[in-house]
Amino acid sequence: MRISGTSYHRLSPRLLLAPFWLAAILLLPALFTLAALGRNYEMLGYEAGSYASFSHIPGRGGAMANTLPSQGHSPWLGSLHERQELAWPLIRRFSEQENLDPALVMALVQVESRFDPMVTSKRGAAGLMQINKVTARHLGLDDPFNPEANLAAGIRYLGSLGKMFNNNTRLMLAAYNAGPGRVQAAGREVPDIKETQEFVDKVLNHSGYFRDRFQ
């Protein structure tokens, strides 16, 4: 119709919908990318609250490549519960050899790495029991990212600390965290270090849960 000499024409529905179709076409690649990222995170077993970082996997072959394939087929890349179930028979076997409480060792691994064999700390400690490079060399541990080797070496080291401090659990744990020299320097007491004191308390608190669950 004509109003005040001006012509108005009804727009085609196709023209009205054109901006929406254009936006959808532009957004599709981004949506596919986000979906792919979500599948990758699910495959690697990422969990809320976990500080594990799979970027720390070293580029080497051998036992490491066979034990923890990057394709995500290893059970060690499963959920926290699955990793705990996987670690329990190994920890029980190695703990019995060192006369240690396996539930206590399970609690230590929970606090140290949340049973993630690929975790590394800012200080360079690596693997399930967070063994640093110096201690790894002393223990003959060539690959700290190999779960079984890491547990065997870490539990052997923990057992030696138990003997050093007359099987005093608190001192053994403090020495594992801060080093035996600091425990000796503190008069064979838990050092006045907040991190170490919190570590000892956390491990002892978690040990009851693992004792009820596995023993």
The answer for 130, left when phi > 0, alpha when psi is -120 to 50, beta otherwise, is left
Please spell the DSSP secondary structure of 2-32, one letter per residue.
EETTEE--PPPHHHHHHHHHHHHHHHHHHHH
Handedness of CA 188, 161, 147, 120 (dihedral sign): positive
Model's pTM, two decimal places? 0.68
Is residue 111 within 8 A of residue 199, CB to CB? The reply is yes
Residues of the chain with pLDDT > 90, as a percent, come to: 64
pLDDT in the model for residue 74: 84
> Average pLDDT, whole number, for the chain?
79
pLDDT in tens, 17-26: 566 566 556 6
- Known catalytic residues? 112
pLDDT in tens, 101-131: 999 999 999 999 999 999 999 999 999 999 9
